[in-house]
Structure 1
Amino acid sequence: MALLQQKNKRAALQKAFSQKPSRVVGSYSQGLAGPRIFVVAGIHGNEPAGVVALQRLFAQLESNRAPFYGQIIGLRGNIQALQENRRYLKADLNRLWRDEMIEKLPGQMMDADGQEWLELADLLDHLRALAEPQASQEPVVLVDLHSTSAPSCPFLIDCGDSRLAALFNRWPIPRVEGLDQVIQGTMIQYFMARGIASFAFEGGQHQDPLSAENHLALLWLLLSDLGCVPEAQQGRRGHYADQLKATVNCLHLRFRLKYRYRIQCGEAFRMEPGFSNFQPVSRGQVLARNQDGLIYCPMDGFIFMPLYQREGDDGFFIIQPVEEEGE
């Protein structure tokens, strides 16, 4: 019975993805020892900038032909949602990465409404190599590329992995801590629990052409700082570091999550227009409204990821600089 289920699973996957763009955006290696980097873009289908950046990166690597140490693999996240330019179809693919959910995969995939389960199973198959034991001690890193519905400078989601602290400190962009404490079931949480250094990077607003450029810049910084490209390529690193620095519009580079507004089922939530990421807000300021009236800011701080799209469960967050806490 289990074998039949496994065969059915494989057949469903092959049928579901045979007429779609490839899961693999690209893979590059020259066979030289070095880090292994897995990059997932478009796990939310209305966030295509990361896919564009990966396509540009692999084209640059192929044309450059300078020595390259290690391997980088780029993957599409939610392929069907990317084709339809929707965050998700039936379920948020970046909330399904829980052990109890993954254990149900064979049955969920046979559901008529199980598109995201099919995506999860196929993406997981491509990422299983992350958790395989390696004879080499070279770093293994997972990067999740995103964009936001509100205008935003690029920023990092820091889940507290000490192995990444030195990298983050070198990059001239803000990072936000604590999001992993309130949002569960993400891909990077799943692989962090399996010992893989993982982080998310937000390149900017969905529709902003600079978002793809920011994703590309971050990937080049990562390749440079992990030693994948030789020092002769450091001029390229400097160019992309300057590009990212020029997009940052906040005075602080380290923030911590302090408040989350979670949208309830059936709530007619609507953000007030005009907010951008990292914009200062004050206690008592009107931020949004619903069927019951106005929604006020609970504290002084900076608004983070205000929701300006139909799909999503989080209306907004409030963050504060870590430095103000004396840390």
Structure 2
Amino acid sequence: MIDLSSVDKKRLAGCVIGKNTKDLFLCVGGIHGNEREGVSALENVINNLKNHSQDINGTFVGLRGNLKAINEYKRYIDYDLNRIWRKSFIDKIDDPDHIPQYHEEKELKGLYKAIHTIIDSFKPERMFFLDLHNTSSPKGTFAVSFSHNIQNKLNKNLKVPIIMGMEKALEGTLVEYIESIGYHGIAFEGGDLNAGTAGQILESGLWIILNTMGFIDSENIPKYSAHRSFLNGLVSGFPLMNEVRYVHKIDGTEDFKMNPGFMNFQNIKKGDLLANDNKGKVIAPCSGVLLMPLYQNKGQEGFYIIEDLTKVSA
């Protein structure tokens, strides 16, 4: 029996049951509270799917992430909710003696309970998970998956840059946790959170990913061709298959300041001056392609350097 009554109504963005309940597509928006565009895109897609449930090859469930941070329009309150999906935190969820140190531990518990309630209710034979995000710098439209099979599917159909090796660069992400419990997860970045197109990018990406994973046929997606053309235009000329080579980790004590003017997928050379902190200049340790230069106050990574794998294989 499907029962989602225990899921916080503020967290549940919506549920649309399609032609079968064997396949489940679970999507989260707003795990970072200042990325509200993910919540809006999620809600827009749900509202559309409600009128076409007979066209869905499975069930679609949407969840809101960091509720308090969304309400306050902050990336997080005390700690990044997308960095605490680790055993040390998860093991404390049902510990009655544990006193939370961070607000995000409460959000972790709420989201964890919601995810497992949904999985336990539907008992899917197949589940895909999608985490919607935005960057703080321009031209940041790309996808992350840990599965080679999913990476290949996204490369063939979504046709935006795919970033591999992120599981080695980051710990405690929700996608990593989903993979650890036996399901496939995807993170989709919808460009600059300050750009007026951020919500549209995420909505287009969500529709195309739903199609890529076999949950809805292209002819049943409103303005499918427009979504595809829009995304393809955003990433024209960008490398489509990439791997993480370096992550500049920060903890908030360095007074890290990215130099102005950098953007995602910008080519850089070893020795380029990228940022400054309280120790002085921050120099690129290797040549490559810049990803997610940090232009907001909160964050645990100053920038990434990735390698264009199409050049390596050429």
Alpha-carbon offset, residue 66 of structure 1: 5.3
State the TM-score, normalized to the length of structure 2. 0.89
Which residue matches 1:312?
Answer: 299
8 Å CA contact retained: 2:163, 2:243: yes
Question: Among 54, 76, 81, which residue is 2:42 paired with?
Answer: 54
1:148 aligns to 2:128 (yes or no): no
Tell me the equivalent position of 2:209.
222
Matching residue of 1:86: 74
Aligned partner of 1:105 in structure 2 is: 93
Displacement of 1:169 after TM fit? Answer: 2.4
- Cα distance change on mapping 1:36 and 1:268 into 2, 3 Å: same
> 5 Å matches for 1:1-327?
22-33=10-21, 35-64=23-52, 67-107=55-95, 111=99, 113-129=101-117, 132=120, 137=125, 139-230=126-217, 232-233=219-220, 236-264=223-251, 266-326=253-313
| Number of residues of Structure 1 aligned to a counterpart in Structure 2 | 309
- The answer to whether the 8 Å contact 2:210/2:216 transfers is yes
The 1:305–1:81 alpha-carbon spacing in structure 2 relative to 1, beyond 3 Å, is same
Unpaired runs of at least 5, structure 2: 1-5
Label 1:73 to 1:250 Cα distance change in 2 as closer, same or farther (>3 A): same
CA contact (8 A) 1:35 1:226 kept: no
Q: Distance in 2 between matches of 1:70 and 1:240?
A: 22
2:23, 2:124 within 8 Å by CA — same for their partners in 1? no
Displacement of 1:302 in angstroms is: 1.2
Percent of residue pairs identical? 29
RMSD over aligned CA atoms reads 2.5
The structure with the largest alpha-carbon Rg is: 1
Residues 126-158 of structure 1, C-alpha deviations (whole Å, 9 max, x = no match): 111565597764x31010111001112410013
Q: Contact 2:161–2:238 at 8 Å: present in 1 too?
A: no
> TM-score normalized by structure 1?
0.86
Contact 1:131 1:194 survives alignment (8 Å): no
**Aligned-partner Cα distance in 2 for 1:274–1:108:** 49
Letter in 2 for 1:283: K
Distance 1:93 1:70, change over 3 A: same
Structure 1 Cα separation of the partners of residues 109 and 161 of structure 2: 33
Cα pair 2:24 2:124 within 8 Å, conserved: no
CA distance in 2, matches of 1:66, 1:103: 40
- Is the alpha carbon distance of 1:197 and 1:161 closer, same or farther for their aligned partners in structure 2, counting shifts above 3 Å? farther
Q: Report the Cα offset of residue 89 of structure 1.
A: 0.8
The residue identity in structure 2 corresponding to 1:304 is L
Cα distance between partner residues in 2 of 1:108 and 1:297: 46
